[in-house]
Every structure is written in structure tokens, then in C-alpha cells.
Chain A
Amino acid sequence: MPANRLDLHIPEPSARPGDQPRFAGLHLSAPGEIRRPDSLADEAEMRDLPYGLVRVLDDDGNAVGPWAPVVAPEVLLKGLRTMMTVRAVDDRLFRAHRQGKTSFYMKSAGEEAVGVAQSLALGATDMCFPTYRMLGWLLARDYPLVDFANQVFSNEQDPLKGRQLPVLMSARAYGFYSLSGNLGSRYGHAVGWAMASAYRHDDGIAIAHVGEGTTAEGNFHEALTFASTYRAPCILCVTNNQWAISTFSGMAAGNAETFAIKAIAYGIPGLRVDGNDFLAVWAATRWAAERARANLGPTLIELFTYRQEGHSTSDDPGRYRPAREADAWPLGDPVERLKHHLISTGAWDEARHAALAGEITETVKSAVKEAEAVGTLGQSKPPVGEMFEDVFAQADWRVIEQRRELGA
């Protein structure tokens, strides 16, 4: 083709089924390599950060470099236990879907450190505006497993009264805002929430998440604009797990080197963080929270991770990416890495880990069985009259008449 002719570019991932896994252009920094400016420093002095990758845990399980946080071993053990619980709940409920006990499920596999570390790093008055891979946030705050299973089964004890797809939770008392299936549509709510907290001179901040694919949505950019303009006390996260269903991250990134660099255009700090490194996630979240609480406004954090399994129960990743790509992910597995770290510091050992794993399996099994005893999807449901409630604060005549028409 002559050089002066236009040609359309359609980007493609570096590997497809049948290929060897190959991660091109990941821009990985070494553990401990990235500098840590003071959390109250001027944004203009930290525009190098979103090009790097904040990592704390090295390959030997040591916490290294300026971002290595001081975290009590009990908190890390709680983190480990919670991540293991998330994985056990996911496995059990995914199987429940395969057994026809519910309509849908979404796992957090590979991304457990994000929800768990951030939940533990932030306070009770902070509100999370999550994605659907944030079960860890809830479980880190001891959300009852049986309530979650009841929601997944949409049964009579479903805390959301049978109205919402499994996993799309709401739990105000646990700092967990209402999920919906529309992508990115709550990102701006986090900004409004944070602005309201600032307006009232309260102490809570907001933290919100989208996947990397959703950064292409208008509401991502709208929220960043508002957050920057009004210096909203919030942490805006992009969980980059490489895959938006079957679409690779390059489709949303275009020619941009990272997602964190979008912060630069909005005049706010951007951090790019190893999302499989519990300590790095914890440290970056605390850093951004300190800034927000000091009235310095929002931070954009890209949490660099990998979606180990399918998008949902309706997905088969074997059809669009190499079969062993998850195993080849260069930043490992968040559970294994935190376990390794705790063992290397002497706070943990293989025997206790095996015992804990067994205990968690039993706890999860027992909670899910308790929910199954209430009923799985279709066997049990809340009173059908609930369908007509909460449309408005007070039902109008349409709802009243239609409820009567249904005989509910």
C-alpha cells in the first residue's frame, strides 16, 4: 500500500487462544523503585508517578522501599483471612450457579487485594462506590456471609428483597454503596457524596471504582472533572484487570501508556499501583486518603491486576485469551503473595495457613448451606408485595392498584 494512503487501525491484544501468553508493554517497575512524595505535596511535583508502578512486596516476600507501610500483623492476617474467604465464597457460589441454584455470579478472583486492603485501610465513615468485584470490601468489614448468600439466591431473607441481580449488593451500614449493572454510573455519585461530606464539614471520604474498560465512558471523565473542580475528598480508582469481558485493555487505553496518567490532564495526583500487592494497595489508599482528608482533593489510582477467571458465569475466557494467561501474570496472585510475606516475617506458617483454609471452607460451606435452607432461586422469595415497595417513598395509586390486581 502506498505510504500516503490512509489506513484504519484496529488494536489487538498481544496473544489470543492457542498463543503463548505474552504481556507486551506492561511498564513494570521494580519493587521499592517508585519514590513516595509526601501525601500533602503539590500535584505538579508528582507527575512522574502515574508512569511507574508502586510495588512493595518483592519476589522473596519482603516489604521494600518508601511505600512499605507500617501495618499491624493482625491487620495483615485479617487481610489474608478475608481474601481467602472471598475466594472460598466465590468458588462455592459459582458452583451453586452451575448447580442451578442461582441465575448469575461474578468472582473477584485475582483482584481480592483491592477490596480487602482498601476496606481495611479506610474508616467506618468512608463510603465505597464499588465495582462488582469488591466482595472483599464487605467481608473485610464482617458482612454476614449468609446475608450475601441470601442475596445471591434472591430468597426470602435477601437483604435487597429479591430486586437485584446476584452480587450487585447495597450495604449502607458497611460503607458499600448501591451497585448497578450500568458501568461507571456511580463514579460521579462518589464525587457528589464527597462534596456533601465536605460541605457539612464531616470526616468521611468516598472511594470509587471502575474497570479499565469503563474509563472510555463519559461518566468517568465527568466525575474526574467535577472531583478536580470542587476538590472533592475522594479516591477514584481504575481497577485495571486487563479484560473487559473479551475486550483487552488496549481498546480503552488507545495509545496511552497507563490509565493513571489520565490524572495529569485533570490536575490531580495519579498513582499506578500493583493491585496484587496487598501492602502497596493499602499504602497507596492511605496516602490518597490523607490527601483527601487534608482538603487537597481527589487522587486517581490505577490498580494494576489481572482478572483470573471469566467475566461472569455467562462468560468463557478460553474463547478469547490464552488458556494459561492467568498463570503467566508477572505480578502473581494476591493471596499467595501476602501469605509469602507473612511467612517470611514469621507472623505465619504453612501449618496455620492450611488449618485456616480448612476452617474457612467449613465456615463458608455452613453459611451457604444456611442460605440454601432458606431457599435457592425460585424455591424461596420475599413476599411478592415487596415488588411494589420502594418505587417511591410513598406508593402512588398505580402501584397500589397494580399490587391489588396481582393479588399481592
Chain B
Amino acid sequence: MPTMTMIQALNSALDVKLSQDPDVLIFGEDVGYFGGVFRVTDGLQKKHGLKRCFDTPISEGGIIATAIGMGAYGLRPVAEIQFADYILPAFDQLISEAARLRYRSGGQFWAPITVRAPYGGGIFGGQTHSQSPEAIFAHVTGLKTVIPSNPYDAKGLLIAAIECDDPVIFLEPKRLYNGPFYGRPDQAAKTWAGDPTAEVPEGHYSVPLGKAAIVREGRDVTVLAYGTMVHVAKAGIEEAGVDAELIDLRSIVPLDIDTIVASVAKTGRCVILHEASRYAGFGAELSALVQERCFWALKSPIARVAGWDTPYPHAFEWDYFPGPARLAKALRGVMEDS
């Protein structure tokens, strides 16, 4: 089986869908001839033709509006927003239109669109190339939000997103594009080579939306994470030396609530890790759900480890970024509390 980086796996997913389904079109800023600033669409225009994978004007609102119109017509457009930080001009389209079209039209129109966007920090991208806006999307009724953490899932989830009849926000942790990242910037960057999740089949397969993965089984504490933080969590769990169960949510809408509840019911402790700012971050919803459903099983307060409530700071990237040491501290804390 071939080994792929996350970029190659995403490219493979798009290639598979372009080959299988003439209704799939790909477009966005710089995605056509050039193949995208992160190379995710590299070679697709050459292989599948100009009309299947093409450049757009620099207009995120226009890109998403066009995608919705195409989707309502019956196509399955895949739009790339160059960085998740740039998605804000398209918010009216995503929230007022894509997410609401099926509902308000009584099921007569809908938007089966996929919106891909590189997201998250860890690359010294500063304020406008590092943010994690997933909680904003999670709050919008009618949108699905997916965040892969490895090449195998990235391909399978992207195929599932494209095949889904609802609008899907597909956030790609850019720090994971070329290798796993354990939150230790002082260590040499790793590649995906040799990682079992980098073994990616060439053909079609999908990973269902709304199904979490138990990355590591454990008895004492449940760690909930997604995207880059799945790898940071592995490092933090190792550093703390606790027997933690690590759950990679893979999609936050739909959320695999059953897997979360089963795990916390077993461990009695829960630590939530995400890169986005803590206040009203997705961890707040996770914390509320766990409290509502697992209160009598809890042996210690739920803990959240997240980005600080500041804009994403350039020089202070590693002070801001919730690394393994902060997770380890939280893990030790919940163990001591009980």
C-alpha cells in the first residue's frame, strides 16, 4: 500500500471523486493550474481538465455563493478557501444560505457542497494564517464540520464529505500536511513516512462522518481532541505517564456522542484539548455534554486545555499553542483531584 502525506491523501481523494463523478468540480484561489498554495490540488487540472478544477477570483463570498448555486443545481462542488482565516467574507453564504437552504425551502433546494480550508497554527503564520474557527461553524445549525488528524482519515473523510448531501466545512490542520506534530517545535520535524495512518489505499473508500476514533485505549482519563491536537495529546499523555484513553473526534458536527459518553463513563475523568481559544470554544460544548451525560461517573472536574483568549500571536506562538506540557499538567491535575 502506498505511503501518502496528508496533502497527497487529500489530493488522492479529490482525484478519485473527479474520476468517479462528473458532478464533482473543484475551484478556489490558485487551485487550478498552480495546484493550490499547499499543493492539495496539484496536477488535477492537468489530469481532469480546465472545467473540473479551476481558479477563481479572490472572493470568498463569491466562491461559496457560486458553489451553493451549483450545488442547488445538482453538482457537488468542492471549494477551497485558501486559509480558514479568510473564510469570514463567506460567512453570510455559509450561515444564511448553505446551512439554511434545505430547511427554509421545505426540502426543495439544498447545497451538497464541501468547503476545504487549511486551518490551525504551528507554522508561524501569525494572526491571519493560524486560527481555528471550528466552534463558530459548530454553532451553526445545518453545517457539518470535519477535522482529520492523519492521511488515511483525511482521504476517507473528504470522500465522505463530498458524497454527503449537506454542506460540509472540511478543516485541514496545515501543521499535519507533511507529518505528525507533537507540539514540540524544538524537535526535528517528522514526516508521515513509517506512520501506519500514512498507508493510504489508492482507490475509493470513505470514513463515515460522525464516528470518532479511539486512538489509544486507557482506564483513568478520557482525552478528547481533534486535528493537530490528537498528536499533541499523545505526547502529553506520555509525558504525564497516565493511562489515558485518547479519542480523535474526527468530526465535531456530527459528533460521536456515544463514544465520548462510553469512554468517560469508564474512566470517570475528562480532559478536552483544542487549539482554538478556550472561551466558548468547542471544548465548552464538549464539557457541557459530558457533564450532562456523565456527571455521576465523574471523579474530578472536567478540564479544558486550549489556546489562550487572545488573538493568535506571532512571536508568542509556542506560549499560546497548547503543547504537551500543558496537557500533562492538566492530566496530573485531574488525577490528583480525585
A300 CB → nearest B CB, Å: 16
Contacting residue for B103 out of A163, A189, A218, CB 8 A: A163
A355 part of interface (Cβ distance < 8 Å): no
Question: Which residues does chain B contribute within 8 Å of A389, judged by CB atoms?
Answer: 107
Interface centre among A163, A178, A223, A393 (most CB of B within 10 A): A178
B210 part of interface (Cβ distance < 8 Å): yes
Q: How many residues of chain A are within 8 Å of chain B by beta carbon?
A: 43
Question: Would A178 and B96 be within 8 Å (CB), given that A195-B66, A222-B59, A226-B57 are in contact?
Answer: no
CB neighbors of B among A180-203 (8 A): 180, 182, 185-197, 199-200
Minimum CB distance partner of B253 in chain A: A396
Interface bits B41-59 vs A (CB < 8 Å: 1, else 0) = 0000000000100001101
Question: Would A219 and B65 be within 8 Å (CB), given that A163-B103, A188-B93, A396-B254 are in contact?
Answer: yes
Question: Which residues does chain A contribute within 8 Å of B101, judged by CB atoms?
Answer: 178
* Complex contact A185–B103 (CB within 8 A): no
Question: Would A197 and B106 be within 8 Å (CB), given that A187-B65, A188-B61, A189-B65 are in contact?
Answer: no
B74 part of interface (Cβ distance < 8 Å): yes
Question: Which residues does chain A contribute within 8 Å of B100, judged by CB atoms?
Answer: 180
A42-50, A62-70, A166-174, A315-323: which lies at the interface: A166-174
* Complex contact B103–A229 (CB within 8 A): no
Minimum CB distance partner of A206 in chain B: B69
Interface bits B126-158 vs A (CB < 8 Å: 1, else 0) = 000000000000000110100000000000000
B64 CB → nearest A CB, Å: 8
* Complex contact A193–B61 (CB within 8 A): no
B165 CB → nearest A CB, Å: 4
* Complex contact B61–A396 (CB within 8 A): no
Contacting residue for B72 out of A187, A193, A218, A225, CB 8 A: A193
B310 part of interface (Cβ distance < 8 Å): no
Question: Which residues does chain A contribute within 8 Å of B115, judged by CB atoms?
Answer: none
Question: Which residues does chain A contribute within 8 Å of B164, judged by CB atoms?
Answer: 393
* Complex contact A392–B142 (CB within 8 A): yes
A177 part of interface (Cβ distance < 8 Å): yes
Q: Complex formed: what's the CA distance from A163 to B100 in Å?
A: 10
Question: Which residues does chain A contribute within 8 Å of B69, judged by CB atoms?
Answer: 188-196, 206
Question: Which residues does chain B contribute within 8 Å of A159, judged by CB atoms?
Answer: 106
B21 part of interface (Cβ distance < 8 Å): no
Q: Complex formed: what's the CA distance from A164 to B104 in Å?
A: 6
B73 part of interface (Cβ distance < 8 Å): yes
* Complex contact A192–B67 (CB within 8 A): yes
Q: Complex formed: what's the CA distance from A218 to B144 in Å?
A: 26
Question: Would A189 and B106 be within 8 Å (CB), given that A219-B61, A391-B142 are in contact?
Answer: no
Question: Would A189 and B68 be within 8 Å (CB), given that A219-B92, A391-B141, A392-B144 are in contact?
Answer: yes
A160 part of interface (Cβ distance < 8 Å): yes
* Complex contact A197–B73 (CB within 8 A): yes
* Complex contact B104–A163 (CB within 8 A): yes
Q: Complex formed: what's the CA distance from A196 to B97 in Å?
A: 18
* Complex contact A397–B257 (CB within 8 A): yes
Q: Complex formed: what's the CA distance from A199 to B109 in Å?
A: 19
* Complex contact A396–B210 (CB within 8 A): yes
* Complex contact B96–A188 (CB within 8 A): no
A390 part of interface (Cβ distance < 8 Å): yes
Question: Which residues does chain B contribute within 8 Å of A187, judged by CB atoms?
Answer: 65
Interface centre among B73, B105, B142 (most CB of A within 10 A): B105
Minimum CB distance partner of A176 in chain B: B108
* Complex contact A160–B57 (CB within 8 A): no
B303 part of interface (Cβ distance < 8 Å): no
Contacting residue for B62 out of A161, A199, A222, A397, CB 8 A: A222
Interface bits B154-192 vs A (CB < 8 Å: 1, else 0) = 000000000011100000000000000000000000000
* Complex contact A182–B109 (CB within 8 A): no
Q: Complex formed: what's the CA distance from A190 to B69 in Å?
A: 6
Interface centre among B106, B107, B141, B210 (most CB of A within 10 A): B106
B242 part of interface (Cβ distance < 8 Å): no
Contacting residue for B73 out of A164, A193, A390, CB 8 A: A193
B70 part of interface (Cβ distance < 8 Å): yes
CB neighbors of B among A211-227 (8 A): 218-219, 222-223, 225-226
B89 part of interface (Cβ distance < 8 Å): yes
* Complex contact A223–B62 (CB within 8 A): yes
Question: Which residues does chain B contribute within 8 Å of A171, judged by CB atoms?
Answer: 108
B253 CB → nearest A CB, Å: 8
* Complex contact A229–B106 (CB within 8 A): no
Question: Which residues does chain A contribute within 8 Å of B74, judged by CB atoms?
Answer: 196
Question: Would A170 and B104 be within 8 Å (CB), given that A177-B109, A185-B92, A185-B93 are in contact?
Answer: yes
* Complex contact B92–A182 (CB within 8 A): yes
Contacting residue for A160 out of B56, B59, B105, B142, CB 8 A: B105
* Complex contact B106–A192 (CB within 8 A): no
Q: Complex formed: what's the CA distance from A391 to B96 in Å?
A: 13
CB neighbors of B among A250-306 (8 A): none
A223 CB → nearest B CB, Å: 7
Q: Complex formed: what's the CA distance from A352 to B108 in Å?
A: 39
Question: Would A191 and B65 be within 8 Å (CB), given that A185-B92, A199-B25, A226-B57 are in contact?
Answer: yes
Interface centre among A171, A191, A199, A218 (most CB of B within 10 A): A199
Question: Which residues does chain B contribute within 8 Å of A186, judged by CB atoms?
Answer: 65, 97
B75 part of interface (Cβ distance < 8 Å): yes
Question: Which residues does chain B contribute within 8 Å of A391, judged by CB atoms?
Answer: 102-103, 141-142
B45 CB → nearest A CB, Å: 15
Interface residues, chain A, with chain B CB atoms under 8 Å away: 159-161, 163-164, 168, 170-172, 177-178, 180, 182, 185-197, 199-200, 206, 218-219, 222-223, 225-226, 229, 389-393, 396-397
Can you report 24 A-B residue pairs in the complex whose CB atoms are below 8 A from each other?
A: A159-B106, A164-B106, A172-B105, A177-B109, A185-B97, A188-B68, A189-B65, A189-B97, A191-B65, A191-B66, A192-B70, A193-B69, A195-B69, A195-B70, A196-B73, A199-B70, A219-B92, A219-B93, A222-B57, A222-B65, A225-B62, A229-B57, A390-B107, A396-B254
Interface residues, chain B, with chain A CB atoms under 8 Å away: 25, 51, 56-57, 59, 61-62, 64-75, 77, 89, 92-93, 96-97, 100-110, 141-142, 144, 164-166, 210, 253-254, 257
Add 20 more A-B contacts to A188-B69, A218-B61, A226-B66 (CB < 8 A).
A161-B106, A163-B103, A163-B106, A186-B97, A187-B65, A188-B61, A189-B65, A189-B68, A189-B69, A191-B65, A194-B69, A195-B66, A196-B69, A206-B69, A219-B93, A222-B61, A223-B62, A391-B103, A392-B166, A393-B164
